Every structure is written in C-alpha cells, then in structure tokens.
Structure 1
Amino acid sequence: MENERSVYMKKAAQREFSVPFRIIRHIYSFYSPAPPMSAWHQVYRTEGLSHSFHADAVLVLLAAASAGYRIFAEMSPALILSCLCVIISNNEMMNGAVKMDRSSKIELTNMCLIYDDKRVLVQEKQGLKEKYKGGLVFPGGHVEPDESLLDSVICEMKEETGLTIHNPQPCGFKDWILEDGTRYIVLLYKTDHFEGELKSSEEGRVFWLDRSEIENANLIWNMRELMQIFETDSFSEFFFRIQNGSYKGQLLG
C-alpha cells in the first residue's frame, strides 16, 4: 500500500511543468517528515523566483495542506504565508535575487503649443497615412535618454519650428498603452515666449493659424481635445482606453 509520501510524489509528478509543484516535489524528496526553512530558502535562491511565483506557491501550499500531506498539514495557512514572506524578505536582503518588479516600459515624447493672442503655431505633418494627409498637429518629438524633459521640449521646438522658446509650462499629458504594454506618454507644454525666425523641417511645414480658423482647421490626433488641456484648467490628461477592440480617448480632470 502506497504511503503518503509516494502518493504525493506521484501527484506532484503529474504537474511536471508547474513550477510551484516542481519546487515542492524537489524539496519534499530530500526531507522527511518536513524540510527545514533553509531548504526552501536555498531553492528559492537558485530558482531566481519572483513575487508572481510566490502568489502561485501560496495557493499550491494551501491546497497541499488541505489535502492532508504531512509536510504541510502541521502548518496553518497563516504560518505558511508568514514563512513565505520571511523567505522573500531574506532573499531581498541577502542577494537581491527576489524582487518585486514594479517598473514598466515607457516611451516619452513631448508637444508644445506656441501661441500669442491671435495665433497658434501648427505643423502639417509629413509621412502620414492617406486618411491623415494634410492633417495639422502641434509640434513635438521624442525625449532622448540623456535629456531633461525641459531641455527636450526646447530642443524639439528649435528643430521643428526654428524658434527658440522660453519658459515652457507643463500643462498635462496625453497617454495610452501600446500593444506590447509600453505606456506612450506625450508631455504637453505651452509658451508664448519665443524668438527667432519660423522655419519648417522634414517633419512638416509649420505656420501660424489664426484662432478664428481653429474650428474649421484639419486638426488631427485629438488636437482639439488637447486645446482644452492647453487653455483651460478643467482637464490635465487625455487618456486612451481600449473599448470594444479600439482606442477611445477621454479627457480627464
């Protein structure tokens, strides 16, 4: 008649590709009736496990305990969870092998509304798809790795408009999540302090648009919504969410 140990080992073996059961099986095979905490500690270190694993491991351990395996049956669910927390904490302090990765990939860009009392500066963007051809946007570009955010927007305005801007004021954000999980952020600035001669770039022709013409202008990529961020205090973000398989933008206060 099979003993408890062999029954458990067979059940664990059926889950060969499940990391939590594989680890539990590995430790259980060397210790009876129960492995010391140092054994768990060592395997967690060598496996390079993350916090996402521990969440699964807790469920596996609790399930094993409820099934009556002696190694776990003598430990309460609270004790099991406490032991795992100690392991995680020790690993972080000793060798940094286990860390909660709260970072996310971000692509940073900027956009600036250059304006005066009667006009706003727009750019007829080049290289667009057919449906966007002739579309007008406010100038902007990418933030380079070695640039400050302020230096970046000043530099982009110089490159794309020929103007040297001063004292650009941050107004808000436009952002969305790309298919690969990257958060694409457009930092929005505005300024009416500038000097120099207007000059277009390969990014597109730049010109002054009279404010009276904004309503009928071919503004694309939600520039009208962004104007509410640039020129009012009602909103600070324009965020795209995926709804019914497509992006839907919303102004947020």
Structure 2
Amino acid sequence: MLRSRSPIQALTPADEDAAIAVCARRPDAHVFVAARIREGALRTTPGCVLGYADRGDPLGWRSLVWTGANVVPVEVGPDTAPAFAQRLRRRSRWASSLFGPSDEVLGLWALLSPSWGMPRAVRGSQPLMATTVPPSELGLALDPSVRLAGPDELDAVVPAAAAMFTEEIGYPPYVGSVASYRRSVASLIEQRRTYVVTEGPDVVFKADVGSVALGTAQIQGVWLAPHLRGRRRAGPAMAAVVEAVLAEHAARASLYVNDFNIAARATYARIGMREVGEFATVLL
C-alpha cells in the first residue's frame, strides 16, 4: 500500500525568505519566529521550523510551526493544525510552552493535549498591544533613569531577570547551574536590548527587547521591584523604554500581557499602546 506524503516538511536555509513572508502576514503576531529565522536558525538548527507545503500558494508554504524550546504556530488554522499535531506527537513532550496567537495556540493544543498530558497552566487570553507613537509625543513623562544595561552589570541583571521569570511562570528559570541562563541574559545585554533602572548596585526595573523583525520590536521580561510597585514608577519607566525602542530598534513596539494583570494593562494603555490581537500561552 502506498502511503501519502505528509505535507509537513522541515524548512531549509533556501526557504528563509518565503518563511519570513508567511510571518509578515501578521507582523505583531509572528515577530518572534521571524526574528529567530533572520538570526539564522534555519542554518544553525536544522528542523527547527516545520512548514505545511502548499505548492498552490505563491510562497510555497501555507503555515509554519517553530519547534525550539517553545512551540510557536504561524498562520496555523483548522486546515493545517491536524497535520502539524500528527508530526509533533511523534516526539515525547519536550517544549516548555506553546505560545502565539490564541486561536492558533488553543487549536493546536486541543489536538496535542491528549498525548502531551496536563499542562501547568493555560493562559488563554493575553492581549497583544502595540504602538508606533513615541510617548513623548503624547506629552508623557519619561523616567530619565532608564538606560541600557552594560556588560559589566550582568551580575545585577540576572537576579532581576530570574525574579521576573519566577513571578510570571511560577518556577525558577534554571535548576542547579546558572551558567546557561546567564549566557541568555548576557546575550541580550550585548545586543543592547536590556533596559534597566538601578538603585545602588541593584536593578529595580528591567525590560528586554526579545525579538526584532518585520519592522516590529517585541518587548518582554518587564519587571519592577516589589518595593516600588504602586508608587507610579512603572508608567514613566515603560514610557522611556518604548521611546528608546522606537528610536533604536524598530518603527513599531509590541508586547503581550496576561489579561488578569490589570495594573500592567492599564500602564501600557496609558503610554499609548493599543490592543491589536490576542495571544495565548500553554505552560508545560
């Protein structure tokens, strides 16, 4: 009996431009995968992006799935999700999360969950917010103490980054050796993508630019020290970050936030960010 060939194929470096074009259908939603591809992932990590082959499509690909430490769908709909799920089910559960546009993530997770088991949490509604307007043009105050972290400040940034991760995810970002985590934090600092406020030797505010592609810079890892919360520090600090991101990284700044984080959502709205979509995250 002849078996039909699966439409799911691993992309190669020759597919880079076509893959970026698929991501560009919704830049705010797919900047993470586009950035990884532009950084050379198809060359350095073969098989990290799976595509649904559609030779009737001018790009050759209908949708994609990033399969690194996280699973991230790109333009995956009801017509392509079953084929991706069948391919992903061949592996034991290896990812730490699924995230991306809520309809894509939740549709894919519904197919994977019977074999991948109970998740730690499902955050089904995370507003995706974006702006192209520098907060200063809105007459907003910018915190003058916000600045880029320097390479010599790694020891101060790591505890702040780890605290943010632990608060957000519910468990620490590393177990045992901190070396690998330090390298990831150091990489962002070296790329001039980590903004901080310090008090003495301590970092008390931090925000990173995690992905840049398609004219969009996605902000992540926003954290304010607990003793400063509720003291009107977050708004001016985030306004300064967005101002810098729009000047130094891309014409558009975006981020996504948990729907239950009312204070953060209000802060982002006050500095001019508007909802442009909805994300979901499944923590595994």
TM-score where L is the length of structure 2 = 0.23
Instruction: Give the structure with higher Rg (CA).
Output: 1
